Structure 1
Amino acid sequence: MTDRYDDSNLLTLIRAGRVFAPEALDETDILIADGRIAALGRGLDVPDGWPVEVVEARELTAVPAFIDQHVHVTGGGGEGGFATRCPEITAAEIAARGIATVVGILGTDSISRSPADLLAKVRGLRAEGIAAYMYTGAYRVPPPTLTGDVQTDLAWIPEVIGVGEIAISDHRSSQPRQDEIERLVSDARVGAMLAGKRGICHFHLGDGERGLAPLRRLLSETEIPAEQVIPTHVNRNRALLEDAADYAKAFGACVDVTAFDSPGPDDLSGFQAVCDLLKRGVAVERITMSSDCNGSLPDFDAKGRYLGMRVARNTALIEDWQRLVLEEVLPLDRALGLISGNVARVLGLQERKGRLAAGFDADVTLLDDKMRPIRTFAGGQCVYASEA
């Protein structure tokens, strides 16, 4: 029997009302071929008989699809016992928020969940159309790995693009010494260099009094560049956010804001955090936002005893971002960097993601006038279409 393939939709032509790449373009049509953007223009067409799907979206705005660099794709949690393990996320839940690219992560629990589980989930999401990557490691140092070595993971496993989330300034961390942090970051740097990757170290910040001090020492006392290190959850409380603003300006570093789902009494929302960072003089190019979705949001008392837990979702990420645009804190072209272009640069994916341009991955989100995702394309495939 002869193998056959479905050639009915080899090409896709999106006719949008506006295109932000992230800057506003005169072009309104996007031609997609073989998972990449083939051309942008006005009145684009293809010869009769060619296998093309035309998406009429004149009432919508096309933007680079969103990137979430901090997702517990296999579920997080576990701090309150086995019954508090969070569920996995689905490809549909990701795509419905306009997100086409995620980075999977392990957190507190690297015992009942392993890097191998994470890699399997990442590959499963890829099979469903989502561009998925992962960090090797987890909260603890030395970190759990796939091959037994951080450098080897980064050098030989394509999906591994960094190390994380390494916990510091948190009672749940392994309380790593400064020399352990320095060795871990240097291992990530060398392994990534061998594979042509950025190889960031993604650091979880708790609410401990040390704050960003370990990372300040790292950048002050070693030759490690600031782009190698990304602190996240920097809006856990106001003092930490102030520390993060000073850190970003002092080192020309990037900081990642978490769009907390139902922020606690000390947390600042993603919206508030971005506003405060901007007011404190941090350039928007130095700020990213992520969801921490399907991770746990545990509550502890003053002695570190577990009180309860909520499961984070990725809805707050999009809602906080929409608010920044709709309340005119940032214009659309600059706001897109927070969850697209800036993130692509941080992860070392800027040559193929975070921008609508010929040759880039065909990751496109169509937004309505309220900045709500209506359709999401990942690698040229429509992975979400609103029923409304």
Structure 2
Amino acid sequence: MMPAEPREDRLLTLLRVGSIFAPEPLEATDILIADGRIAALGRDIAIPTGWSIQVVEARHLIAVPAFIDQHVHVTGGGGEGGCGTRCPEITAHEIASMGIGTVVGVLGTDSISRSPADLLAKVRGLGAEGISAFMYTGAYRVPPPTLTGDIQRDLAWIPEVIGLGEIAISDHRSSQPRQDEIERIVSDTRIGAMLADKRGICHFHIGDGKRGLEPLRRLLSETEIPADQVIPTHVNRNHSLLEEAADYALTFNASVDVTAFDDAGDDGLTGFDAVSRLLARGVPVARITMSSDCNGSLPEFDAQGAYIGMRVARNTALIADWQRLVREGVLPMEQALGLLSGNVARVLGLHDRKGRLAIGFDADVTLLDSELQPQQTFVAGQCIYDSSKVEG
């Protein structure tokens, strides 16, 4: 492997673009970046002579907050059909090429050949490559595997750990946790997060079992846990589950996460269809997020639960579904951006520094062309993807 070329750091970076959605449209067309954060927004920002600065001329592109994917199998998922069905790790290039600047890594079914320590190492590796990366402690099973032997300690002492997940419920691959076990791990996550000044969400994988969201409905109805502590994902796995998710969101003023399946199959819905239907049911757009589940497995099982095959999820569907929502007028750009940026930042507790283009926020910026295709991705002011420099 050839050594990486030395990075040419400058004190300042100035992005000159055609328009800015912060997510609301701004009059500004210049973004001044200093020390990884947005220092100024304006028009024709003047820089004193002699200052060390990199100027990026992109008057034909649209600047938006870099996307946030809260559900990524960064170490690869799968394994339900044996060791030969383990999915590959994701690369920083695959992430950034979709305009994504921040990811949250998860473990899934397999927490035996993969571990929270593996996940932490990968998250830190992505960070070294320029991606803003976090992780959930735990996996499908309960009690969840952890780094320190304790959920609260993981949250309190490990900066990259921002919550617990993905805990599987209503799925034949879950450990069939009792209601009191679910309440205990959510409570532990909440307390650990409070001690660390984090949101500490519990990210729940929802299968197609008959119980659906009932364990989470009971959790919010029978305990003092606030609704923003738990996020159900894959709620568009089938039509009846999506209808239940709409009722759940409206009843508890809760957020739900839609998965951008690249092949929803006969029973499921695409991310585009799911968001459209949730909006039609009256769920506020602020309560909807989208994620990719990329590099996880999409296994198929027969009626008896036997494994019959699988595909590997990709993050291309996430961007395609989002683009379609804007192009077909389901949502205006400023609201649609929330599905992949502002709403996600709020859910994760990162809203004080990510999900917006504003002074003092992380300089995580994606530049889109007129077709809403990512052309450049900046994280903390550093360009980590540039379509014009991709070979082939």
The bucket for the TM-score relative to the shorter chain is over 0.9
Distance 1:281 1:55 in 2: 41
- The superposition leaves residues 290-314 of structure 1 with CA deviations (integer Å, 9 ceiling, x where unpaired) of 0000000000011111010000000
Matched, 1:362 2:363: yes
| DSSP 3-state at the match of 1:25 | coil
Letter in 1 for 2:257: D
Distance 1:364 1:139 in 2: 33
Distance 1:94 1:219 in 2: 34
Letter in 1 for 2:386: A
- The superposition leaves residues 83-112 of structure 1 with CA deviations (integer Å, 9 ceiling, x where unpaired) of 000000000000000000000000000000
Distance 2:253 2:7 in 1: 49
Q: Is the 8 A contact 1:7 1:51 kept in 2?
A: no
How far does residue 10 in structure 1 lie from its aligned partner after superposition? 2.0
Report the TM-score, using the length of structure 2 for normalisation.
0.97
2:90 corresponding residue in structure 1: 89
Distance 1:7 1:312 in 2: 35
1:171 corresponding residue in structure 2: 172
Letter in 1 for 2:92: A
Distance 1:217 1:8 in 2: 52
How far does residue 8 in structure 1 lie from its aligned partner after superposition? 4.7
Distance 1:304 1:47 in 2: 67
Distance 1:85 1:6 in 2: 34
2:130 corresponding residue in structure 1: 129
How far does residue 262 in structure 1 lie from its aligned partner after superposition? 1.7
Distance 2:80 2:47 in 1: 56
2:217 corresponding residue in structure 1: 216
Distance 1:83 1:30 in 2: 47
Distance 2:168 2:8 in 1: 48
How far does residue 45 in structure 1 lie from its aligned partner after superposition? 2.1
Letter in 1 for 2:149: G
1:329 corresponding residue in structure 2: 330
Letter in 2 for 1:194: L
Distance 2:238 2:274 in 1: 10
* Higher mean displacement: 336-345 or 264-273: 264-273
Report sequence identity in percent: 77
2:297 corresponding residue in structure 1: 296
How far does residue 199 in structure 1 lie from its aligned partner after superposition? 0.2
Distance 1:177 1:6 in 2: 52
1:307 corresponding residue in structure 2: 308
1:249 corresponding residue in structure 2: 250
Distance 1:17 1:127 in 2: 31
Letter in 1 for 2:137: T
Q: Structure 1 residues 141 and 52 mapped into 2: Cα distance closer, same or farther (>3 Å)?
A: same
Distance 2:9 2:140 in 1: 46
Distance 1:45 1:194 in 2: 44
Distance 1:124 1:270 in 2: 29
Structure 1: unaligned runs, 5 residues or longer: none
Distance 1:299 1:49 in 2: 61
1:240 corresponding residue in structure 2: 241
Distance 1:83 1:379 in 2: 37
How far does residue 265 in structure 1 lie from its aligned partner after superposition? 1.6
Letter in 1 for 2:171: D
Q: Is the 8 A contact 1:8 1:51 kept in 2?
A: no
Distance 1:50 1:266 in 2: 58
| DSSP 3-state at the match of 1:24 | coil
Counterparts of 1:36-75 in structure 2, within 5 Å, are 36-75=37-76
Distance 2:265 2:307 in 1: 15
| DSSP 3-state at the match of 1:146 | coil
Distance 2:244 2:334 in 1: 27
Distance 2:262 2:75 in 1: 18
Distance 1:362 1:239 in 2: 40
How far does residue 50 in structure 1 lie from its aligned partner after superposition? 1.1
2:10 corresponding residue in structure 1: 9
- The superposition leaves residues 171-204 of structure 1 with CA deviations (integer Å, 9 ceiling, x where unpaired) of 0000000000000000000000000000000000
How far does residue 7 in structure 1 lie from its aligned partner after superposition? 6.6
| DSSP 3-state at the match of 1:193 | helix
Distance 2:109 2:11 in 1: 43
1:280 corresponding residue in structure 2: 281
Letter in 2 for 1:62: A
Distance 1:26 1:79 in 2: 51
Aligned residue pairs: how many? 384
Distance 2:301 2:105 in 1: 25
How far does residue 9 in structure 1 lie from its aligned partner after superposition? 2.0
2:226 corresponding residue in structure 1: 225
How far does residue 6 in structure 1 lie from its aligned partner after superposition? 7.0
2:163 corresponding residue in structure 1: 162
* Higher mean displacement: 264-273 or 199-208: 264-273
Distance 2:275 2:150 in 1: 36
Q: Is the 8 A contact 1:35 1:379 kept in 2?
A: yes
Q: CA RMSD in A?
A: 1.0
1:342 corresponding residue in structure 2: 343
